[in-house]
Amino acid sequence: MCNGIVAPLVEDDDERRHAVERHSGAERGTQSHDKAVPQALAQNFRQGWADSARTLPPLPGAAYAAKRRAALSERFPGERIVIPSGGLKLRSNDFDFAFRPHSAFVHLTAEQGTSAVPDSVLVFEPHGNGHHVTLFTRDRSPRDAGPRAAEFYSDRRHGEFWIGRRRTLAETADAFGVEAATREGLERALGGAAVPTRVVRGEDALVDAAVAPAPEAERELLTFLSELRLVKDEFEIEQLRVAIDSTVAGFHDVVAELRHATGLGRGERWIEGTFNRRARLDGHGLGFDTIAASGAHSTTLHWIHNDGPVRDGDILLLDAGVEADSFYTGDVSRVLPVSGRFSDAQRRVYELVYAAQSAGIAALRPGARYGDFHDAAVRVIAEGLEAWGLLRDAEAALAPDSTLYRRYTLCGSGHMLGLDCHDCAAARTETYMEGRLEAGHVLTVEPGLYFQPDDLTIPEELRGIGMRIEDDFLITADGPVILSGGLPRAADEVETWMASLM
Ligand code: GLY
Ligand code: MN
């Protein structure tokens, strides 16, 4: 990777100050490898650039985002609402993690993958009966004059020579359908007359400093923003289909690479990389770190070390999701017998988890309690465990004051899915966990059984087997629609599908 260029030697004091402040190496004390910019070069950088302004169409989801903003405006009349995108997070020294905007910001703007600009902030200013919305953001770096004239070549975090072209303010306004302003005006916009203000806190230091904490009001805002995402609109459903179709394609890719993975020391990494390649090819990236768990690693729910071998005769539990450019994500799990055929013991466990998932799916319908599918799934599991002698009494194990079956299932049997893998997490219990399914909900059904390798309560041949089957569903007025149906579910079908790809 190339080294940086130190802030230019320029005459204008203001320009010099900004150049130095904005130069990431200088900010972080890492300029040792940077080279100074002589004044002649700084002057030279200022001229000779073509006008590359564009006219942008509205973002694909802009009209839907406008409706969501209207709902937020209606919920908090007379209050200022501040929704930051969040900023870059330092990885180490002078490199950041890839930027991914806050999901509430995405939901209210329909922002897309690579065009997302760190440190953008959406401000709803009370106006008449509603709000006037402004998107404060970083516009393009001016190249000819002014305090930011050196930014485009000297600022490795925000300079366009370093990270690529940004939208102009006019392009931002066109794309989002809201007024756009430079971030320089944000502090003033948040000061001035005392207006009751709610912010999504912890995403933007300037916002946090400008607005006094109001924990209860902020919690209420987060709850509203989460609940606003419970029922998906047409755009969101389309984007979830895009994400899940890519996720399915990633599973096909993995099966096609499975043989190759068995010949490698850390075959799980090959599997992870194979899926991740699909995620980057088709979408923005991953919705969450890929879980590529082979052998006994399958009993660790979120095995993301992925540093183990993939061996013939073992299973591979792959739990993965492609995040589309729109930031909606898939979340699918399959258990793959590495040889292409389940052993008897593996098949026994698979059939029980499959039956549990089938029972969960059968409980999905609009109007059902959200908890119904979980209850249906774990009932099948508890009864199966009783039949195997692992539970003495399934009914007693299912009782709320016992839940002994959870020694082998550990986690819940599903969750809402959307911009976040575990979507709508700040929704109230009564609207989510104890609420009812509605048309437009998208959720996963993913019961599992995890027989830890050192669990002496388990017959030896089952120890070290962890299985989860996970699919994504849209609830409609007519019942559930499987969105991940491009993958087989039943054991025989999994084997047939694998044979066609290996
Ligand atoms: N697929 C990861 C999870 O649901 O926790
Ligand atoms: Mn999941």
Q: Are 242 and 205 in the same domain?
A: no
* More confident position, 465 or 143: 465
Asked if residue 267 and residue 127 are part of one domain, the reply reads: no
* Together in a domain, 111 and 209: yes
pTM for this model (two decimals) = 0.93
Residue 184: which domain range? 62-227
Domain boundary among 227, 247, 281: 227
- Please, are residues 228 and 216 in contact by the beta-carbon 8 Å criterion? no
| DSSP structural state of residue 114 | G
The CATH number of whichever domain residue 359 belongs to comes to: 3.90.230.10
If you measure from the C-alpha of residue 470 to the centroid of ligand 2, how many angstroms do you get, rounded to a whole number? 7
pLDDT the model gives residue 268: 98
Give the residue from 224, 221, 200, 229 showing the smallest Cα distance to 418: 229
Distances (CA, A) of 321 to 240, 296, 395, 425, 472: 11, 22, 35, 18, 11
Q: Is the same domain home to 373 and 394?
A: yes
Q: If you measure from the C-alpha of residue 446 to the centroid of ligand 2, how many angstroms do you get, rounded to a whole number?
A: 6
| Whether residue 173 is found in the same domain as residue 320 | no
Mean pLDDT of 211-226: 97
Residue at which a domain ends, from 174, 200, 227: 227
Confidence band, pLDDT 50/70/90 cuts, at residue 2? very low
Is any atom of ligand 1 closer than 6 Å to the C-beta of 417? Answer: no
In a domain, 159, yes or no: yes
298 and 278 within one domain: yes
Q: Is 383 in the pocket of ligand 1 (CB under 6 A)?
A: no
Is 359 inside a domain boundary? yes
249 and 213: one domain? no
Give a yes or no: residue 170 inside a domain.
yes
Looking at 162, 197, 227, the residue that finishes a domain is 227
Query: Is 423's C-beta closer than 6 angstroms to any atom of ligand 1?
Result: no
Atom of ligand 1 nearest to the CA of 422: 4
In three-state secondary structure terms, 247 is helix
Compute the distance from residue 447 Cα to the ligand 1 centre, in Å: 11
**Spatial distance between the Cα atoms of 400 and 415, rounded to a whole number of angstroms:** 20
Q: How many domains does the chain have?
A: 2
**C-beta separation of 141 from 160 below 8 A:** yes
Taking alpha carbons only, the member of 77, 85, 71, 5 closest to residue 38 is 5
d(CA 337, CA 476) in angstroms, rounded, equals 34
| d(CA 421, ligand 1 centre) in Å | 7
**pLDDT, tens digit, for every residue of 383-403?**
999 999 999 999 999 999 999
161 lines ligand 1 (CB under 6 A): no
Are 372 and 337 within one domain? yes
CATH number at residue 173: 3.40.350.10
CB of 304 sitting under 6 A from ligand 1: no
Residue 26 in domain: no
Minimal CA–CA distance to 211: which of 193, 224, 228, 198?
198
Answer whether 331 contacts ligand 1 (Cβ < 6 A). yes
What is the CA(421)–ligand 2 centre distance, in A?
Answer: 7
Confidence of residue 141 (pLDDT cuts 50, 70, 90): confident
Q: Are residues 419 and 460 in the same domain?
A: yes
Residue 70 lies in a domain: yes
Asked if residue 246 and residue 147 are part of one domain, the reply reads no
| Same domain, yes or no: 323 and 252 | yes
Quote the mean pLDDT of the chain. 93
**Closest ligand 1 atom number to CA of residue 470:** 1
Q: Does residue 41 sit within a domain?
A: no
pLDDT at 302: 96
Let me know whether 192 and 238 are in one domain.
Answer: no
The answer to the question of residue 255 being in a domain is yes
| Ligand 1 site, residue 421, Cβ cutoff 6 A | yes
pLDDT tens digits along 80-102:
999 999 999 999 998 999 999 99
Residue 433 within any structural domain of the chain: yes
Q: Residue 468's closest CA among 315, 353, 331, 300?
A: 353
Ligand 1 and 471: CB distance under 6 A: no
